[in-house]
Structure 1
Amino acid sequence: MDVEGKELRRGWTTGTCSAAAAKAACLALLGKGFPEMVEITLPGGQKPAFSLALGEQGEGFARAGIIKDAGDDPDVTHGALVIATLRRGQAGKGLRFLAGKGVGMVTRPGLPIPPGEPAINPVPRQMIAAAIAEVAGTDTDFEVEISIPDGEELAQKTLNPRLGIVGGLSVLGTTGIVIPFSCSAWIHSIWRGIDVARAEGLTHVAGSTGMTTEKAVQAHHDLPETALLDMGDFVGGMLKYLRKHPVPKVTVAGGVAKMTKLAQGMLDVHSKRGLADLEALAKVATEAGADAALADEITKANSVLHAFQLAEAQGLALGDHVAALAWKTAAKALQSPEIALEVLVFDREGRLVGEAPFTPSDQVSSLPLPERNRRT
C-alpha cells in the first residue's frame, strides 16, 4: 500500500503469531527442537516465516514466543510478545484452547466465541490447528495456551471490556495479515476500483465491509471480481465518488454492526468513530414489531450481533428495517436518478438477514420502511 510516495508495510495478526508460536512449541514438545525460523500457511495460501523471541521447555511442556509486527498499522498490540504453551492433552479430545496471562475470556453472548471460552477467534483457532497438524499430523491431542504478557493492560485501549471480554486481549484475524489503516490510501483504492469497473463497462458494482460480506454478495448476484469494491469502513468515500462517476446499479453490503451504524447516519463505520446505538436499534425493532420485552433486551444487549440474535429468536425481520434505514443514509450521499441503490445485510456466516431492494437513489423521501413482517 502506497500513501503519498511512502509504501506502508503490512503486518501480522495475533492469530498468525499464535499459530507460528504453537507450531514451534509443538516441534520442541515432540523432541525436534526449536527452529530458528518457523513457517506457517495463512488462509490465503501465503507462507510467512518468523524468528522466535522465546523458546522454553520443561517437564511436560514447551513454550515459544513471537514478537508481533503490525507493520505500519497503529495497532495497540504492535511489539507485543505472543506466547504459545503446549502440553499433551487427553487422548481423543483433540485441541483444547486455554487463555494464559493477558488473553481474555468471553463472558457475554453475541461474540464469535461463546461465553466461558478463551477469546481466541474461530479463524485463529483454525490456523493454530493447521500449524500443529503440519508437525504432528493426526496426533492432535494437545492443550494450547496462548498468552500475551502485557495483554490485560493493552486491552484497556480496546473495546474488549465493554464487550465482556475480561482479563486481556482477543486473538484475532481472518486473513492473518494486518493491512495498514490509511484513510487516504484505502479510499483511493476504492476509487480506482470504480474506475476499472466503469472502464470495463460494468453496470453493477458492490461495496463490501469485509471478506465474508464480499463473498456473500458476489454469490448473491454472481458478480465478477472487477465488480467487487473493498469498501471497508469508508461507505461515504465510495458513494461520493460514485455520485460523480455513476454506475447504474450499486450494492452496499455489510455485517449487522456496520450496517446498523450506517442506518444510524454514520458514513464512516469504523469502530473508532463510535459504536452503534442500541437504544436506537431497540426503537427500530419496535417499529418492526418487537414487543416491549424484546426492545428492552435489545437495549441491554452485549453487541449488535447479540441484538440481532435476540430478534431472530422471535422471528423478527430486524435486518430488513436496518437495511431500509441504511439505504436512506446511503441514498442521501448519492442522490442520483442514474443510480439504483441496494443495501444487503449479512451475518457472520454470510447469510442474508436484511435487504433494501434496488431503488433510484434520488427517491430518499418517498421510500417507506418495510411493513412489520417476519423473515423466514
Structure 2
Amino acid sequence: MTRKPHSELRRGWTTGACATAATKAALIRLWGGAFPAEVQITLPGGEMPVFPLAHTDHGPGWAEVGITKDAGDDPDVTHGALIIARVSQGRAGLTFRAGDGVGTVTRAGLPIGVGEPAINPVPRQMMQSVVDDLATRFVRPPDVTIEISVPGGVALAAKTWNPRLGIKGGLSILGTTGIVRPFSCAAWIASIHRGIDVARADGLTHVAGCTGATSEKAVQALLALPDHAMLDMGDFAGGMLKYLAKHPVDRITIGGGIGKISKLAQGALDLHSSRSQVDFEALAALAGRPDIADANTALEAYQRAGPDLARKVAVAARQAVQTRFPDLSLDIIIVDRAGAVIARAGP
C-alpha cells in the first residue's frame, strides 16, 4: 500500500458494518421481493454509510448478499474480503450461524460464549436492529436466521490472533463503531486485552508479551508456555501492562530485542520507532561506557559493549516497569536477531 506523506488517511468499514449492510440488503430481497442497488445502514455513532452490493443470490426461503470490505487506508488483512450474509425465516427470534470462513469460539474469556459463531456483540446488535426495523416495515415476525460467511476466511484468520484466542475455523466479525480508523492502535490493544481475558479464563498464571516473532519464539521455547499464554504485545507494552494491572496474573514476561527493551528501560511504554527513541547518552551512562554514546542503534551499542550492556538494560527495564506497576510480578528477556537469549532479569 502506498500513500503520499502527510496525506489524509481514508477511513473504512469494519467486518461488522459490512455484515450488517449485507443482512439488510438480503432481508429486503427476502421480504420485499427485490435486491436494492445499494444499501445504507446506521452505525452506533450515527453515521450512515452506503454500501454497493458485490454479490447476490436467492432461493426458496432465503436470500444472500455480499459486501466487499473496504478498510480504507488501514493495512487490514480483511481489506477486499467479501462479507456474505444469508438470511432465512427462523422460528424464534434471531439466530446467528457461522458460515464458511467465519470462526467459532472454543475457549472462554471472549465476549461471545463457547460454541457461538465469532460474531461480536456490537455487530450482533446492529444486525438485530436491522431485523427489527425491517420486520416492522414489511410486517413480518422478526424471527430470522443469519449466516455470515467470508470466502477465504480460514486462510485470512491464520494471519490474525484468532487461533491463539481459541477461535477456530475462520475470522471474527468485529467492530464497535463500524468504522476502521487507519493505523489505529485501538484494535491491536483490544486484541491484547482479549488475549489476557482468554488466558485468565483458562486458569493460566503466567503470560508473556513480546515485541516480535523472533523474541516470541525464543521466549515461548525457553519458558515452555502454551500458545494462548503468548500475547501479541508488539510495541504496546503500556496497553498490555495497564490491563494486567487491573486483571492480574501471577507472572508476566516481557521479551524483545535490545533496542525495544532499551526504550522500556528508559521509561517508554509505547515502543514504536515513531513514538519513542533510545537515549544513547543515558544508555552509555547505564553501561558505564562513554564510547557508546555516539552509537547509531542499540544493536551497535551492544556490539561495542557486549553482554554486560544487555544485562544492565534488562535489569533497568524490569525496574522501570515495576516502578510504574509495583504489584506486577515481572521478568525481562532480551533476545538477539538470531533468536538467542542474551540477557534476563527477574525471577
Q: TM-score range by the shorter chain?
A: 0.5 to 0.7
1:218-297 to 2 correspondences below 5 Å: 255=193
**Unpaired runs of 5+ in structure 2?**
200-206, 232-245, 255-261, 269-318, 330-347
Cα distance between partner residues in 2 of 1:272 and 1:117: 33
Counterpart of 2:22, as a letter, is A
Task: Name the Cα RMSD after superposition.
Answer: 4.3
Residue number among 159, 162, 176 corresponding to 1:160 in the alignment: 162
| Residue matched to 1:49 | 50
Determine helix, strand or coil for the equivalent of 2:148.
Answer: strand
Cα distance between partner residues in 2 of 1:273 and 1:71: 31
Q: CA deviation at 1:120?
A: 0.8
Determine helix, strand or coil for the equivalent of 2:32.
Answer: coil
| Residue matched to 2:126 | 127
Contact 1:320–1:370 (CA<8 Å) still a contact in 2? no
Counterpart of 1:46, as a letter, is E
Contact 1:41–1:131 (CA<8 Å) still a contact in 2? no
Deviations 1:58-92 (A, max 9, x none): 101011111111111111111111110111111xx
| Residue matched to 1:176 | 178
1:1-376 to 2 correspondences below 5 Å: 4-90=5-91, 93-137=92-136, 139-181=141-183, 210=186, 255=193, 302=228, 319=248, 333-334=266-267, 364=320, 367=323, 369-370=326-327
| Residue matched to 1:191 | none
Counterpart of 2:178, as a letter, is G
Label 1:15 to 1:36 Cα distance change in 2 as closer, same or farther (>3 A).
Answer: same
Cα distance between partner residues in 2 of 1:111 and 1:46: 27
Q: CA deviation at 1:273?
A: 9.3
Cα distance between partner residues in 2 of 1:330 and 1:83: 44
Contact 1:321–1:369 (CA<8 Å) still a contact in 2? no
Q: CA deviation at 1:131?
A: 2.0
Label 1:21 to 1:116 Cα distance change in 2 as closer, same or farther (>3 A).
Answer: same
Cα distance between partner residues in 2 of 1:33 and 1:272: 53
Deviations 1:101-133 (A, max 9, x none): 111111122222121111111111111111222
Q: CA deviation at 1:304?
A: 8.1
Contact 2:251–2:328 (CA<8 Å) still a contact in 1? no
Cα distance between partner residues in 2 of 1:115 and 1:256: 14
Alignment length (residue pairs): 246
Counterpart of 1:319, as a letter, is P
Counterpart of 1:171, as a letter, is I
Contact 2:98–2:148 (CA<8 Å) still a contact in 1? yes
Label 1:56 to 1:320 Cα distance change in 2 as closer, same or farther (>3 A).
Answer: closer
Cα distance between partner residues in 2 of 1:41 and 1:68: 16
Cα distance between partner residues in 2 of 1:30 and 1:179: 34
Determine helix, strand or coil for the equivalent of 1:30.
Answer: helix
**Unpaired runs of 5+ in structure 1?**
187-208, 212-231, 234-253, 284-295, 306-316, 336-362
Determine helix, strand or coil for the equivalent of 1:63.
Answer: strand
Contact 1:100–1:148 (CA<8 Å) still a contact in 2? yes
Cα distance between partner residues in 1 of 2:151 and 2:164: 21
Q: CA deviation at 1:370?
A: 3.9
Contact 2:164–2:227 (CA<8 Å) still a contact in 1? no
Q: CA deviation at 1:256?
A: 7.1
- Percent of residue pairs identical: 47
Cα distance between partner residues in 1 of 2:80 and 2:69: 5
